[in-house]
Chains A and B, each alone.
Chain A
Amino acid sequence: MAGINALRTINHIFSSGHHGAQCAPYAVLCLILFLTGCEQRPLVYQQQVLALGTLVDISIYGVDEQQAAKAVTAVTNSMEAIHHDWHAWQPSKLTYINEQLAAGNSISLNKEQQQLIQTGISLARQSKDLFNPAAGKLIALWGFHSDERPGTAPPSETDIKVLVKADASMSKLTLDNNQLSTSNPEVMIDVGGYAKGYAVDQAIDELRRMGINNAIINAGGDLRAIGAKNDRPWRIGIRHPRQAGVIASLETQGDESVFTSGDYERYFEFNGQRFHHIIDPRSGRPAQGTSSVTIIHRDASTADAAATAVFIAGPKQWRETARAMGIKEVMLIDATGTIHMTEAMSQRIHFEFDNKTTKTIIVP
């Protein structure tokens, strides 16, 4: 608005001055400056929906509003279907599968179910079982199989030991053709560690099938971004695990997922002590030493599982676990606030605040 007023002032000077004709090109130049200023802000269709038990932020660029709105509805429905089918504690396909496994029966799975279970088996193997979707009983023991865990006492040492000893792991599952069975009835599948990534991957595939090649699906802070907006890459902020605001930012390249696991996401407090939801299958207790892990990787399922596995691996073993899972870009912020990251990650992210006082360790 003020721009137009300024132009009017310029025109007024021109029309009253002696050199009006000579100056007209300048006026045109000014006008062009303003026009390009407007055009550089591309129109992104953005909508928030409640899905996957969280807020999902969908950004779409490059198609008309009607098509974008249609796409948002479609992917919301499919994410909700995945959430519903694989819910860990409300009656679902998954709770049925778990009942059958506990009873020693084998179950026939459809294509989609096989794909999700197979993905879980191979991700667990890559992580050497630090990422363990078969340890559902441990998660349930800690009370995280509820929407809001009340601040009651953590489980007893005896109960924890029994479940750690039971050694429930994905390698105890056999998927033969479409038949799933287990040699260990203590196995209880909980896809919470990678279902969000899986749902985001499915949603991105669906968008592409609808002809949308520039989009972000941000499921409660974990996201996959494809394409760009008008030749400019998508800009992603990474929130600080201990303070308000953004710690770093990055620009996505083509097709990438950015996933973070943090001890602040789900937790309960008892007698002044905080217990978070990322359970180390080796100790049966919340993993120690890490406050958050951020992963950049192409597919969201792997990024999701790797964020959990690297978090559990901790400040001493994180690099090894990331390498085993084929992850190049990793940032781990440990419990003391020290930032550990791979060289590849350090080249991608830009710190948004003065981090001279923060200890940063970069490894190849």
Chain B
Amino acid sequence: MTRADKIVVALALLLLPFMYIEFWGNSSQGEVVQVRSVNSEGITLPLDQDKQLEIAGALGSSLIEIKDRQVRFIDSPCQGKQCITTGWLQKNGQLAACLPNGITVQIIGRDQRFDAVNF
């Protein structure tokens, strides 16, 4: 092996963990919050920027908060308030929904382990 060969091999080995994380890892980088409503266009927001957002739904407007890489419903004009009791969403794929108001909030990452989740 020449010196260049060794450098290439060493570089390839160094690159391996990086590539593994990049292509197969459950990276949380680049996660976004997707807010969908029956009454308006969906909105996609970065999870790492704190923000409060009011969005119009079927019954009225719901209030959604993004804080410290988490997102939740603060208020919604539904009866059961299940969307609020769901609490903070933190992980990729987690979802909170206010079905009466037709609004969903989900954390979407770049790499989802599953194509679908059964429950």
Contacts and interface: CB of A to CB of B under 8 A. Distances in A.
Contact of B116 (A14, A148, A223): A223
Contacts of A48: 36, 104, 106
Nearest to B18: A2
A45 interface: no
Interface stretch (A135-143, A162-170, A235-243, A311-319): A235-243
Contacts of A193: none
B18 A236 contact: no
Interface in A205-233: 216, 218, 221-223, 225, 229
A3 B115 contact: no
A22 B114 contact: no
A294 to B, nearest CB: 7
A234 B117 CA distance: 11
Contact of A6 (B2, B4, B15, B119): B15
Interface stretch (A118-126, A258-266, A334-342): A258-266
A41 B80 CA distance: 40
B8 A259 contact: no
Contacts of B36: 48
B100 interface: yes
B102 A50 contact: yes
Interface stretch (A53-61, A107-115, A180-188, A276-284): A53-61
Nearest to A10: B11
A6 B11 contact: yes
Interface size grouping (class) on chain B: 20 to 34
Given A55-B104, A237-B113, A237-B114, A262 B119 contact: yes
Tell me whether chain B's interface is mostly helix, strand or loop, or mixed.
mixed
A71 B113 CA distance: 25
Interface residues of A, number: 51
A38 to B, nearest CB: 8
B118 A222 contact: yes
A190 to B, nearest CB: 20
A20 B2 CA distance: 11
A359 interface: no
A234 B116 contact: yes
Interface in B13-47: 15, 18-19, 22-23, 36, 38
A239 B18 contact: no
Contacts of A246: 113-114, 117
Contacts of A239: 117-119
B5 interface: yes
Contact of A294 (B11, B102, B118): B118
B23 A229 contact: no
A26 B99 contact: no
A14 B38 contact: no
A236 B79 CA distance: 32
B57 to A, nearest CB: 10
B8 A10 contact: yes
Contacts of B4: 13-14, 17-20, 22-23
A223 B83 CA distance: 23
Given A13-B4, A234-B115, A237-B116, 11 more contacts: A10-B11, A37-B23, A50-B99, A55-B95, A59-B115, A148-B80, A148-B100, A221-B117, A246-B113, A249-B114, A258-B118
Interface of B: 2-5, 7-8, 11-12, 15, 18-19, 22-23, 36, 38, 79-80, 95, 97, 99-100, 102, 104, 106, 113-119
12 contacts: A9-B11, A13-B4, A18-B4, A26-B5, A30-B12, A37-B22, A41-B23, A55-B95, A235-B113, A236-B118, A238-B118, A246-B114
